[in-house]
Amino acid sequence: QQPVQSPQAVILREGEDAVINCSSSKALYSVHWYRQKHGEAPVFLMILLKGGEQKGHEKISASFNEKKQQSSLYLTASQLSYSGTYFCGTEIYPGNTPLVFGKGTRLSVIA
Amino acid sequence: KAGVTQTPRYLIKTRGQQVTLSCSPISGHRSVSWYQQTPGQGLQFLFEYFSETQRNKGNFPGRFSGRQFSNSRSEMNVSTLELGDSALYLCASSLTLGNTEAFFGQGTRLTVV
């Protein structure tokens, strides 16, 4: 079952913050986040596991609410290099079910 | 180390033809997944292979098939091509199944005319 991402697209000015949400109708074991820049392959950002802690690296972090079956990606003080399409991927039973991605959120950061 | 290699990078085929796409995963990776990417639809899951066994299959017609070889290289085949099959086909390799980072190839851009 494909997770639902919101918003579909967002435009930011450099330095602004953004939140991208990912929700599932099924109980999740893990949520994965990837970023794809135009014309490039998707690149891994982070995995959040059930029962695990919020993850983050500098200005990009994420949370996973298991009860609500939702994850959020937080981008703070955005930079031009953050532009791209962000995908969340969800796993229900790792090793038994595939990683299923949402339709993506297109993020554009302008000067 | 070398990344995931997909060949060819671009293909133009005619309706009704068939096509085979190839994916060489990162050395040591045993899991390969395939995704179809079209504008507005995100990454649609096609197949997942691990140690030459198909572990999962997405909701695609039987015209889409795949396999994995003993060296972990994988191929996918689409028969009787339709215009709607035009898409970017991405392959991702992982060390193992589940809970792990996937590394994507650059993809094969298939155009059906």
Q: Could you read off the pLDDT tens digit of each residue along chain B, which spans 113 residues?
A: 689 999 999 999 999 999 999 999 999 999 999 999 998 888 999 999 999 999 999 999 999 999 999 999 999 999 999 999 999 999 999 998 877 899 999 999 999 99
**Contact B107/A at CB under 8 A:** yes
**Angstroms from A105 CA to nearest CA on chain B:** 9
Q: From CA B9, how far away is CA A100, in angstroms rounded?
A: 24
In whole angstroms, how large is the CA radius of gyration of chain B? 13
Whether the pLDDT of residue A37 is over 90: the answer is: yes
Residue in chain A nearest B39 by alpha carbon = A103
Q: Write the DSSP assignment of A47-91 as a string of letters.
A: EEETT---EEETTEEEEEETTTTEEEEEE-S--GGG-EEEEEEEE
For residue B103, list its beta bridge partners. B93
**What confidence score (pLDDT) does residue B40 get?**
81
Q: From CA B49, how far away is CA A43, in angstroms rounded?
A: 20
SS3 B101: coil
Find all residues with CB under 8 Å of A58, minimum gap 6, and list them: none
For residue B64, list its beta bridge partners. B78
**Contact B25/A at CB under 8 A:** no
Written as one letter, the residue type at A110 is: I
